[in-house]
Chains A and B, each alone.
Chain A
Amino acid sequence: MKIYRKIALYVLLLFVGSLTVFPFLWMVATSFKSMGEVFRLPPTFTSSALFTDRMWDNYRTVLDQHNFLRYVLNSVIVAGSAALGQLFTCSLGGFAFARMKFRGKNIVFGTLLATMMIPVEVTIIPEYLLMLKLGWYNTYLPLIVPSMLVGSFGTFLFRGFFENIPSSIEEAAFIDGANPWQMFYRVFFPNAKPVSASLIIIAFMNNWNDLLRPVIYLESNRLYTATMGLMQFKGAYGAQWHLLLAASVVSVIPLIVVYISLQKYFVSGMLTSGSKG
């Protein structure tokens, strides 16, 4: 590649990168400012509180007086259980759809795919009424159970992966007398580590970021997830940008840390699912 072209490409990459990164930097920068500095014109990037005792004041307020740590922990519980649940459901389903023959298979799988298109707004009202009937209102169950049981995307992902495993492995295990569960649990599932990692991350992220269900189902403040806590905080402290942005940083940091440490699974997971489409 010619050197000029290379330089031009890097300039472009950095320019687009700065458009992506700026809001994040601005979020962090504002989170260290005092109320007065937020409303100073023209806006400045740095805060006078940086590297002084006052530096963490906004974070202290957010974490001590508003319990954001609790919200983050709640999100970990909700998103973690939903993701593990989805791993279980989707890997089992994907295995059955990929390797087993049974009557009605195509109908069930077709329904699963067709209902993928249906907006959540259509199903959420009856779902809400069902949750009220079950007495699950103001618990985590409505946040976990629906997302755990219908993972069209994950099932699709696992089905694609299991279909490509050569049947010679299956034959050998059958000769050794493996039953269907052992076949799945001992032979197929251990091979699916990359798919499992991608699914867990994507499911974790989706559930972490979900807003609709927490808004509808959670009433007690102590049950709030990080996104819900932030939403409520926005309503209550609309103009106190310094606190609001500190709260935003707290609510996004855990996910960004997970993302950076497991980045290759994110992108490869998305690539696999994309090319299957």
Chain B
Amino acid sequence: MRYGKVAPWLFITPTILGLVFFRIGPIIAAFLASFTSWNVFSPPQWIGTSNYVELFNSGTFWMILRNTLVFSLMYVMGVMVCGLFLAILVNNRLRAITFFRGLYYLPVITSTVAIGVVWSWILSPRFGVLPNVLADLGVHNIPSFLGDSRYALLTLVMVYIWKMSGYHMILFLAGLQNIPEEYYEAAKIDGATRWQSLRHITLPLLSSTTFFIGIIALIQSLQSFDITMAMTEGGPNYASATLSFFTYINAFVHFRMGYASAMSFVLLIIVGVITFINFYARKYWVETVD
């Protein structure tokens, strides 16, 4: 207790203030608000579970929930596969390798709005560069990637995977660099192929990193507001809207704070359940060096 009893609390005062006012307080408030009808301009009215009833009876909500799951699943798998591929690629000891690491990380630091603008332009029907290249390659009936309700969500995921793979590359790279070199040398002496080394050394020893990345990617995908806002604004007809975007629309466009809070709580429960399952499943599929 050499620091005394008061000093520690003074040191964490800002953190405590932040936790109380911007994390725990709002969670409790959002939970209570989800049982009210509240449009900001007049005081909230307690309406019991009506918001949840309305939510579960709304066709749009189920469609958006489906969109959210599709988006998250594809995003998580996409960034994990691409991130691991990039990490293995830049884990080679080569000249100028740090240059490539930095290059692949560039889309991560660029704002999602700017990324959204340039990709909207690249994909834009008729004058965009990608439809033109595809037409030159002989592809017929090229869809409007962002304007067609069958492809809008898919296109958003692809662009977001393109943007974020570099982030997951760095996390995987950290994991790869923690694997002792001797394991590979021993495998090589035993005549293992590169593929066998990857399959039997890299992947098992990387499993705790993979677990961590899975959770991070999941949370990122559930908060994918920016990319939707920047590229499609949820359209056409909510075909590319996810739960986080739909919450925003209800709260800050329609000013239905209670209804939006109920929605955000559904989002929170999804995050909670998946995180819980993942932590529970962890002991079955994560292996450690020792």
A-to-B contact residues, CB < 8 Å: 1, 6, 9-10, 12-13, 16-17, 19-21, 23-24, 26-27, 30, 38-39, 41-43, 88-89, 92-93, 95-97, 99-102, 105, 108, 111-112, 115, 117-130, 132, 146, 148-151, 155, 174, 180-181, 183-184, 205, 208-209, 211-212, 215-216, 226-227, 230-231, 234, 241, 244-245, 248, 251-252, 255-256, 259-260, 263-264, 266-267, 270-272, 274-275, 277
On whether the beta carbons of A120 and B223 are closer than 8 Å, the reply is: yes
Q: Report the minimum CB–CB distance from B7 to chain A (whole Å).
A: 4
Interface locus among B49-57, B92-100, B184-192, B196-204: B92-100
Give the residues in chain A near B271, CB-CB below 8 Å.
117-119
On whether the beta carbons of B102 and A267 are closer than 8 Å, the reply is: yes
B69: interface (CB < 8 Å):
no
Q: Which of B117, B223, B229 contacts A245 (CB 8 A)?
A: B117
Give the residues in chain A near B252, CB-CB below 8 Å.
128, 215-216
Most buried by B among A23, A39, A256: A23
Give the residues in chain B near A89, CB-CB below 8 Å.
14-15, 18
Q: Which of B3, B104, B171 contacts A100 (CB 8 A)?
A: B3
SS class, residues of chain A in contact with chain B: helix
On whether the beta carbons of A230 and B122 are closer than 8 Å, the reply is: no
Known A-B contacts: A124-B251, A126-B29. Give 17 more (CB < 8 A).
A1-B93, A16-B89, A19-B162, A20-B166, A21-B103, A23-B107, A41-B126, A95-B11, A96-B8, A118-B271, A180-B11, A184-B11, A215-B252, A231-B230, A267-B101, A267-B102, A274-B171
Complex CA gap A120/B156 in Å reads: 20
B-to-A contact residues, CB < 8 Å: 1-5, 7-9, 11-12, 14-19, 21-27, 29-30, 33, 40, 86, 89-90, 92-94, 98, 100-107, 109-115, 117-119, 121-122, 124, 126-129, 132, 136, 162, 166-167, 170-171, 173-175, 177-178, 209, 212, 215-216, 219, 222-223, 225-226, 229-230, 243-244, 247-248, 251-252, 257, 260-261, 264-265, 267-268, 271-272, 275
Give the residues in chain A near B261, CB-CB below 8 Å.
125
Residue of A nearest to B129 (CB): A43
Q: Which of B104, B111, B170 contacts A230 (CB 8 A)?
A: B111
On whether the beta carbons of A102 and B5 are closer than 8 Å, the reply is: yes
7 pairs, CB–CB < 8 Å, chain A vs chain B:
A21-B106, A24-B118, A120-B223, A148-B18, A149-B21, A234-B113, A274-B171
On whether the beta carbons of A43 and B89 are closer than 8 Å, the reply is: no
